[in-house]
Amino acid sequence: MKLICKACNLAISESLSELKDLNLVNKNDGQDYVPKGSYLIQEETDYERIKGSIIINIKDLINSKHHSDRSRLNGCCGLDGCDGMNRVCLHNHEIGTEYSDCWRVHFVALNPELVKLI
Ligand SMILES: [Zn+2]
């Protein structure tokens, strides 16, 4: 599987497989939430992400850059992800939110309305 931007069909992730062994999920701040090469589907909507969001390791995100709106890019030493989507594809389509600040678990959550797993 891989992720593509729905707007332009650009691949935005490396090859991924669903994480079946939830013992591999790491909830420690400042560390990767899921191992490289895997994805998880968010089961319920919470205050930050909608149900169905696709959660991947930051290192698996490709063909992507930071949002041009700098107000989305707040953080201490990374991106805190608190100000809306902060990641776009190379064609400037919003795709999701990177969480990479020191006080957070690190991952990218892709919006299921904007990207597709193929
Ligand atoms: Zn795109």
Q: Per residue in 35-87, pLDDT tens?
A: 999 999 999 999 899 999 999 999 999 999 999 999 999 999 999 999 999 99
Coil, strand or helix: which one is 89? Answer: strand
Averaged pLDDT of the chain: 97
- Average pLDDT (24-42) is 97
80 Cα: distance to centroid of ligand 1 (angstroms)? 23
pLDDT at position 20: 96
Taking the centre of ligand 1 as the mean of its atom positions, its distance from the CA of residue 86, in whole angstroms, is 14
Contact 53, 113 (CB under 8 A): no
Strand 17-18 vs strand 3-5: parallel, antiparallel, or unpaired? Answer: unpaired
Domain containing 20 — which CATH number? Answer: 2.170.150
Q: How many domains does the chain have?
A: 1
**Domain boundaries, position 111:** 1-118
Q: Which residues surround ligand 1, an ion (CB under 5 A)?
A: 5, 7-8, 10, 89, 91, 93
Neighbour count for residue 45 (Cβ, 10 Å): 11
Interval between CA 106 and ligand 1 midpoint (Å): 23
Distance (angstroms) between ligand 1 centre and the Cα of 21 equals 31
Closest by Cα among 65, 66, 83 to 74: 83
